[in-house]
Amino acid sequence: MILSSDSAALFERYIEAANLSAGDYLFPSAGNAKRPMSTEELNRIVQPYLLEALTARTKTFQFT
């Protein structure tokens, strides 16, 4: 998959702000930066945003 230039720029800013270097995980585990973020950690972060987006979308498509 090829990223759009906007997406690539976003990742570049994240990498710079997080002071990451070659070999570092893009999204490290909260408990150990030498390990990748776990599925559970990712779910805890993403789920609230996903639920909010789905709720907003559902409200947009409701008929009265």
pTM of the model: 0.57
Mean pLDDT of the chain: 89
Q: What local confidence, expressed as pLDDT, does residue 64 receive?
A: 55
The mean pLDDT of 16-28, rounded to a whole number, is: 92
Residues 6+ apart with CB under 8 A from 28: 34, 35, 36, 37
CA distance 45 to 47: 6
| Residue 48 pLDDT class (50, 70, 90 cuts) | very high
